[in-house]
Structure 1
Amino acid sequence: MKNLHTISFKLALVLFVSTLIFAGCKEKKPVQTQTQTQTQTKGDSQATAKETFLFTALPDVVAKVNGIDIQKSKLENVYKVIASQAQMANQVKSEKELVDMALNELINSELLKQETDRQKITAPKEAVEKQLEMIKSQFPDVETFEKAILEKGFSVEQLRGNIEDQLALKEMYSKEIESKITISDKMIEDFYNGNPQFFNKPGSVKASHILIKMDNWDDKAKVEEGRKKIEAIQAKVKKGDDFSELAKTSSEGPSAPNGGDLGFFSKGQMVKSFEDAAFALKVGEVSDIVQSNFGFHIIKVFDKKEGGVTALKDASKDIKPYLSNLEGNKLMNEYVGKLRSTATVEKLI
């Protein structure tokens, strides 16, 4: 089932510290061409310069929550996370919208922290140390870890304190919110019946192809040359030569190094002539020569998955946590709203 994914407010807060500390430090980046590197560096530099200019004009204290200062440095960190999330989700947000979102997240987080303090909710020391060790394990050694958190504006003790706050918040979420979430079988069934688009599984095929590219169909000599090439390859396929090896040595498509493997794809993902030919084949069959706007193809189907509707009993394992997250977000927003209604909040930007 697709598109039933959400991150609860609780989870966002619990993961917040870790995100700030080692986001981008864990992955090994693929080797890039010089052009890619120059383009990315230019884009990153422009984005960083823009953010730096934006925050330079702001006061050091951007808000007060019941007399407690919220520092500009924290706002800048949260802004970067939210801006990155918006970009990945293809959401167009203005700088003002992103700053407002970041500031509200910080205000809500501070209100919740103050409430955990008021209720004397604390995190077990063992859990704090385990979380700290987990973060450390993302780095090759202690020196690299300490350098990374210093660059983010933290000391180890500050990080430990932040982890304590987040785990205490998790405890409070369990007590005040999670305990009140009830998802009935009827709610699951109603969602299932009301959202059939999530549970229709399209049929798919796993295919490989050999491509002879054609950039200009008006060039008759080139078209004839390409046709002769694909016909020669077709003769080898019919003779029994290995399809994957032929794709590696003869195909002009980007999948050639992988033996022409395109993986599984559903209808609507490929150009129509290619799609029609692929879905008409049985497993193990090879197509005749297929013409598309990309060129000449020979297609072999290696596997097929029939389409259908996911049964309610199978879908429920995804629906229940999804509905739980929605209900948790709703209850948390109401809870924070009550805290905010009795708090003294001053926005200074």
Structure 2
Amino acid sequence: MDKKEFETNGQLNNNATPEETDASANTNEAPVEAETIPAAAEEAVPAAQEPVEPANNAAADVTPEAVPVMSKVGGGNTPPSSPKGGKGWMIASIVLAAALIIVLIKPPFQKDDNSVAVATVNGTDITKAQLYDKLVEAGGESTLQNLITTTLVDQEAKKANITVTDEDINAEIEDLKTQFGGEDALNSALAQSSMTLDDLKAQMPLQVEIRKLLEPKVTVTDEDVTTYFNDNKATFNQEEEVQASHILVATKEEADAIVKQLKEGADFAALAQEKSSDTGSKDKGGDLGFFKKGDMVTEFSDAAFALKVGETSGAVKSDYGYHVIKVTDRKEAHEYTLEEKKDEIKKTLISQKVSEMSSTWLQDLTTNAKITNTLTDEPEASATPEATEAPAAE
């Protein structure tokens, strides 16, 4: 869909009578602070783990919010290659986490415990042994491999005296929100894997340990930073943006009545929740977040960018009805310099290299470890103690 077209919203009234647009500014009100967050793209992930594809790709798979006046493109100023160096790889275990959440009962059971009933159906017992067998069939191998990987990484972290604090977890979550384009976008990506933010936090210690173990092995030079900046310079430029809320109604009479109520002191957010037909924004008081001029249909964009922070428009006509728009914040256009972006780029490149290294590092760690896996090992591969003893010296 063209970014200037309206997104489909079956609940909107599309039969309003065409009339002249009245976008005159009226009410001055205090601005509401907000911050734009860049979106992320597909990430690299460690070996033996299933990725969830964030931001640009994830956004395409999630049902978009019904915002009829906009179709956000990109959602931020992060260069296309930047997300690959972000923290998206840190949720590499997202898909397997569903199996981890339904944790396997500690195998093996005690011999006298196998027949203990975990459920009874009309007098017929379902035993622990039956449950364990089914859980193994459902995802036992992948879950056990995940636990093996976690144990290996924990052992390496302990050797390196690495610890994971609540502050570490919260910092990683905040970085992920930034990479995905905000908390809502991250939650949408998590929901695709039947996870919540709390589930993700439970998986984070492993990812933080990997980062702390690998970052010291990474080198990023000033030349690397300069090259990255020059290659992506245009994408660092900040276009002018405004943050606005709107109330969408079917007729000009309704819009004019809302404008009158606002002049008399009514609360914009409350009116949006009560009267707006835009299901994507009404529950947020009509808030659409930050957007660039090209993100909106022409009529809406022209009216919004003509307003000052705190001002409210009159009735603005579009193909989907009439909008009353309130601008709550503004970001002026800005062309960033290398010095301004140096730290951000270095952090991005370090994360990118950690992401690239993690797969090989985990594979080597697994290869060099002594691991017994009763779910996958062939019985004949298990050597007896006598077979592993060295011959007696003559």
The TM-score bracket by the shorter chain reads 0.3 to 0.5
Q: TM-score, normalised by structure 1?
A: 0.47
* Structure in which a larger fraction of residues adopt helix: 1
Q: TM-score, normalised by structure 2?
A: 0.43
